[in-house]
Structure 1
Amino acid sequence: MAGSTNKTVHDIFQSMENGPAATSSTATAQAWLDHHSRSLGLFIDGKFVRPADRQTRSLADSKGGDVCNTVCAVQDDVSQCASSAVSGYKAWSGLSCYNRAKVLLRLVSVLGQHSKCVSELCELCEASCSPSSLVRLLQYYSSWAQLRDTLITSWTPLGVVAVVVSDDCSLYSLMLKVVPALAMGNSVIVVPGRSTAPPALLLAQLFMSAGLPAGALNVLTGSDMLLGAKVAQNPSISYVTYSGNKQDGVMLCKAAAGMGVPISVSPCIGATCPIIIFESADIDSALDGVLETAFKKKKEVNWVLCVQENVLERVVARLKLRMAGMKCVGLASDADRVQVDAAVQGAQQQGATLVQSCAAPPSGALYPPTVLCGAAPSSSFVVSPAPGPLLPLMSFRSNTEAVTLGKEASVDTDTRVKVVEAVRNLSVGSVWVNSHSVSDPCMPVSGHKDSGTCTDGGQEGLYQFLHPSCSSSPPLPRSSPVSMDYTKFGTAASPAIIPDDSDAASAPKSYLQFVGGKACKSESGCTVAVQPPGGGSVLAYCPDGGRKDVRNAVEAAIKVQPGWMKKSPSARAQSLYSLAKGLEAKRRDIALSINVQTGLSMDEAEKEVDLSSARLNDWAAYCDKVQGGTLPVPQSGSALSLPEALGVVGLVLPDKNALLSMVTLLGAAVATGNAVIMVPSQKNPLPVLAFVLQSSDLPAGLVNVISGSRDQLTVALATHSVIKAIWYWGSAEGCQYLQHTCTSPLKTLRLFCQEERDGGKDWTQSHPTLLEEMWRNAVQWKSVWIPTA
């Protein structure tokens, strides 16, 4: 084995050394590249197109040899591609669900015929994807294509979807967005990265041979992420979804801000994810998985090994034994070797000790698998890991310490209580119990904390490519970005309040805001005047809230939200029923505030209050009706999908139907376990400020209401690191500001421009899909994999 021909079986079992790797051939892929003269064009309208006078981008293999060149698309190519995609969407969405499913299933056969070419091209380009995983992806989503109108009724495709990935993204991560978008009836424009461009072009060709209509799948290659922004700017694009490293995702969001297209981000590259080994774990089995997972040549996440102190010495000793003799891992370039050397040197200076399989060669793009023992969560090599086979190891005492942040996590323990506790408390999208890196398209994964703004995989991942057919909400207005100074947005001074000569009996009423369970003034002590429709005398005064008020509200919300989320759904339902009763008890007073504020008749105002009470009851009934479930995984084991609250949600409320819109959005957020910070309509704040919150049995701090300048409070919400999501009704400038600003950390955005038909929302509708859409916007998904053998 491995360079020796006289080792006994006993020797092999003692060393557990890997055998010689099979020699790989890329002859089929090379022949396909030669057929295209090693210069790949764009794929538009069902065929390869190579426009003249275009720059090209070269792709090299791991040894530095040239693989091929790809064309760098320009604006004319984007326009031609978008026009083709619109035609492709009409043809593709016009097919029946059965016929769309047939095309995807036919592609499984086509892929089987050309699996060798696909796998060799992926290996040559280091695109990390096996034909078998693509087959599983197609089989899973072809069944959803078949059953869309049966199991996802009253939802329709978005139209033309752009899928953008970074240079270091895998082909599987790309296809995890492309295939479900097609399955739901959308047409797709793919903007691949450097390594995924050749395999994406090959797959586009195979899709056409399987019967996909021309234009339903197009591929545009370019030199950088700005091509994705150019695609987003085209008015034919309905939605842009990105996968890859966070830096490029942030660049895309900022470049596309103000273009009027929703953008979701799945930063699947570079996330830091823990492997947690409890004292009750089978250490030998756990370390087998650790070594296989952490030291891959190309990995999308940065693993951190977390070991309970009681077994730390045993783990380190067995790591030394098992790592002895492991071969060096190839790095992408000599520049990566410089980063790895610097990271190791810095770790040693911070007190870390090394466990290495062998001595590091003096130079070159090779480095031995290395464990950096004694890491701290704040260590630079943990926070900003270098590329290469480096695994930080840190210890923990209690179960609470083991709960860390990341996109994914692996938990090794034989104790069921610790499994349940870890699964509930880990703020990650995937948890693997006594296993590592298990993936399947049926498993939904959402970005938690700063690791994404959408859900990929499973039925839940389909909804990003659909919208309710009964919804009258228009998209954001399509336009060029407004030229604006983001640092000055929301800094305009509030209008001055001039004292008048009115007597105390006729003086306008002063309202209070609601923060931390108490009615209070703003931290600034200032107020703003509220006027009736069309202007005139002052109706009332309300607090002029600002950044300090938002800070106080967030501090109150984060104290109470974890406990509220852990409450049983039925307990949350009872609190919402109680809130609805309080609203009914104050029916006349709140209707009067609507009448005075908006000019509606008392009958119309009372009707809105009644609708608001009914809507709260709807959400109370909804609390315990949708709770995830088991997943049909093909491997041995069980998998669960669990909906979880986002955390703290900021609501910048619409002008239209001030009370009804507020309870609709509030109910969706609170019913699913979130805490909320609400900014009432600057135009019509009184119905919200008059709302009955103090007398309800909602925990203090769960719902906060801060009145004042919409733009100023929007800035405070956008720049607060704890707030996970913002639902915004406001100006086009406000929408652009949020898209540009809410990138660090990433926030989930729901944006509506009131300048376009007041957001276009008919709040009096109670169609089931509208409530389901809001519910899905208020949760994130976690997948749990539990092996049985």
Structure 2
Amino acid sequence: MTDAADNNIADIADIADIAVVAGVEVDTRHWIGGRRVASATTFTDYSPIDESPIAEIHAGTATEVDAAVAAARAAFPAWAALSVKERSDILRAVADGIEARVEELAQVETLDNGSLLRSHRRGVMPRVAMNFRAFADYAEHQLGHPDMEVPGRGHRQRITYDPAGVVAIITPWNAPLMLASWRIGPALAAGNTVVVKPPEWAPLTASLLADIMHEAGVPAGVFNVVQGTGLEAGAPLTAHPDINRLAFTGSVPTAGVISKAAAANIVPLSYELGGKSPLLVFEDADLDLAVDLAVEQFDNAGQVCLKAARMIVHSSLADEFTERVVAKAKTLVQGDPRDEATDVSALVSRRHFEQISGFVERALADGARPLLGGGPNTELGGLYFSPTILVDADPTAEIMTEEVFGPVVTIETFETEEEAVAKANDTRFGLAATLATGSPERAERVSKQLRAGTVWVNCFFVRDLNAPFGGSGRSGIGREGGIWSFDFYTDIKNSVFAPDGWGDEGGESDG
């Protein structure tokens, strides 16, 4: 490590309450009912950059979960009673607070999960603020509906979005704060109170968000953070009888466990899970664009659920496409994410690193051939896995069917449009798909046939907060974004008023 890197690693002399991470003080206790709450035990948070310990995090259990849910339940009536504008104004103040602390948040999250500092500064953290502001604006301007007349009866009906109650939100480690804000923003704007369990591999920015919430005037108990492992803190939260909605972003196996726990309480779920998304490159594609789209999939060391891990290329372009992708991927710089020149950083944890290594080792043993990478970056050591491009993998092999969630992609070919669509849809996942084509007609035709929640045509990662987002199959349950978020975080009510507001002669019912 360089001296500069040494200076940025945390001072954890006071492990009881405060860690100094990249020069930023982070309180490592829970945030419950508007105050910091300690636990009897802690767990160590390591930086992926060099596996150094950066903080001791207070480890929550059912005790802290019960306290957080009780605080959220107690705060719910007053928060729900505020007007949408009053809540939205507070959330805009939260957005202001995030914007004022972009650099601090970026530095801390880079050390915590290993993502690129430049991406956090210029894109991720400003997007966090935008999420809060956008959902505040949307709630204020879209949730109110005018009364409608019941045809032929003279009655009035009014549709309202009533807050559901206490929302449990379990967030992932690959983009901890951004993906948390995607759920927290609409949940709070709709009038719910929230209990967040951040990822144990990257929990620190959730604690900073609690400070920002408090400074912005979010009342005590409206926003709560319980840190800890999935088993000790996540399990009691998902099974808690006083939870009214549960939003989870993470793996398919964990979602299965959560589903069983939530089912006992009939709790509505919103899941954003894994993906095994395709990139279809047709013979009429702009090859420069297609190569750029392919290399973009190594962003965040491939730890992106939306990434196109399967590249399905027309045979007439396959050789040139593959050669150019390999050549461009070789130019990617792997190293310390705090360096502006770095393109690919480390994997988030030793356990995840070993999982990625296992996927690739088994693929090679089964006959896949590496054109680039194929193992750890031996020059860097640690948790750095080389960008890897594999060909000749059997279509039924694990590397082709399971989500790897690392800097690993496969390339295969097709002859006809029908074959391309069939290969793209030959997966239990259905989160996203990307296609490169010069034909508007083909773009329309193929996009309609792809089983994916989002289809990008000649672009990638363009997301509008007003549009629905989610996946099918093993990629998730439900949709969020715009009105779809508020459909989930509220109980939608239809109130019917008799003519003049009094009396009703009765009539036929449709239900």
Normalised to the residue count of structure 1, the TM-score between the two structures is: 0.53
Distance in 2 (alpha carbons) for counterparts of 1:250 and 1:340: 22
CA contact (8 A) 2:238 2:261 kept: no
CA contact (8 A) 1:26 1:121 kept: no
3-state SS in 2 of match to 1:118: helix
Q: Residue type matched to 1:34 in 2?
A: V
Deviation at 1:25, TM superposition (A): 9.8
CA contact (8 A) 2:302 2:408 kept: no
Deviation at 1:378, TM superposition (A): 1.3
Distance in 2 (alpha carbons) for counterparts of 1:260 and 1:360: 44
Match in the other structure for 1:204? 210
Root-mean-square deviation (Å)? 3.1
Match in the other structure for 2:34? 46
3-state SS in 2 of match to 1:421: helix
- Say yes or no: does 1:104 pair with 2:91: yes
- CA radius of gyration, larger in: 1
CA contact (8 A) 1:140 1:441 kept: yes
3-state SS in 1 of match to 2:491: strand
Count of residue pairs brought into register by the alignment: 452
Spell out the pairing of 1:409-558 with structure 2 (5 A cutoff): 409-470=433-494
Deviation at 1:79, TM superposition (A): 2.5
- Aligned counterpart in structure 1 of residue 409 of structure 2, from 383, 391, 394: 391
Deviation at 1:73, TM superposition (A): 2.1
- Say yes or no: does 1:244 pair with 2:236: no
Alpha carbons of 1:471 and 1:33: their partners in 2 closer, same or farther (altered >3 Å)? farther
Deviation at 1:96, TM superposition (A): 1.2
- Say yes or no: does 1:253 pair with 2:259: yes
Distance in 2 (alpha carbons) for counterparts of 1:105 and 1:38: 23
CA contact (8 A) 1:26 1:124 kept: no
- Say yes or no: does 1:356 pair with 2:400: no
Match in the other structure for 2:163? 157
Match in the other structure for 1:146? 140
3-state SS in 2 of match to 1:34: strand
Distance in 1 (alpha carbons) for counterparts of 2:91 and 2:169: 18
3-state SS in 1 of match to 2:244: strand
CA contact (8 A) 1:189 1:220 kept: yes
Distance in 1 (alpha carbons) for counterparts of 2:196 and 2:349: 27
Distance in 1 (alpha carbons) for counterparts of 2:302 and 2:137: 32
Match in the other structure for 1:378? 396
Alpha carbons of 1:147 and 1:29: their partners in 2 closer, same or farther (altered >3 Å)? farther
Spell out the pairing of 1:734-745 with structure 2 (5 A cutoff): none
Match in the other structure for 1:299? 303
Deviation at 1:348, TM superposition (A): 4.0
- Say yes or no: does 1:56 pair with 2:50: no
3-state SS in 2 of match to 1:320: helix
Higher relative contact order (CA 8 A, sep 6+): 2
Deviation at 1:454, TM superposition (A): 1.5
Distance in 2 (alpha carbons) for counterparts of 1:466 and 1:85: 16
Match in the other structure for 1:124? 111
Match in the other structure for 1:642? none
- Aligned counterpart in structure 1 of residue 387 of structure 2, from 369, 377, 398: 369
Alpha carbons of 1:61 and 1:78: their partners in 2 closer, same or farther (altered >3 Å)? same
Q: Residue type matched to 1:396 in 2?
A: F
Match in the other structure for 1:547? none
**Sequence identity percentage:** 23
Deviation at 1:149, TM superposition (A): 4.1
CA contact (8 A) 2:10 2:55 kept: no
3-state SS in 2 of match to 1:445: coil
Match in the other structure for 1:599? none
Distance in 2 (alpha carbons) for counterparts of 1:28 and 1:368: 24
CA contact (8 A) 1:166 1:225 kept: no
- Say yes or no: does 1:75 pair with 2:91: no
Distance in 2 (alpha carbons) for counterparts of 1:190 and 1:358: 37
3-state SS in 2 of match to 1:255: helix
Deviation at 1:305, TM superposition (A): 0.8
- Say yes or no: does 1:282 pair with 2:286: yes
Normalised to the residue count of structure 2, the TM-score between the two structures is: 0.80
Distance in 1 (alpha carbons) for counterparts of 2:65 and 2:350: 36
Alpha carbons of 1:295 and 1:144: their partners in 2 closer, same or farther (altered >3 Å)? closer
Deviation at 1:321, TM superposition (A): 3.0
3-state SS in 2 of match to 1:296: helix
Q: Residue type matched to 2:98 in 1?
A: L
Q: Residue type matched to 2:301 in 1?
A: K
Please list every run of 5 or more consecutive structure 1 residues that lacks an aligned counterpart in the other structure: 1-22, 473-606, 616-762, 764-789
Match in the other structure for 1:722? none
Distance in 1 (alpha carbons) for counterparts of 2:264 and 2:283: 52
CA contact (8 A) 2:468 2:482 kept: yes
Match in the other structure for 1:84? 71
Q: Residue type matched to 1:200 in 2?
A: A
Match in the other structure for 1:33? 19
Please list every run of 5 or more consecutive structure 2 residues that lacks an aligned counterpart in the other structure: 13-17, 147-158, 335-343, 497-505
Q: Residue type matched to 2:33 in 1?
A: D
Deviation at 1:30, TM superposition (A): 6.8
Q: Deviations over 1:92-150 (max 9, x none)?
A: 11111111111111122212222221111111111756221112112211102322542
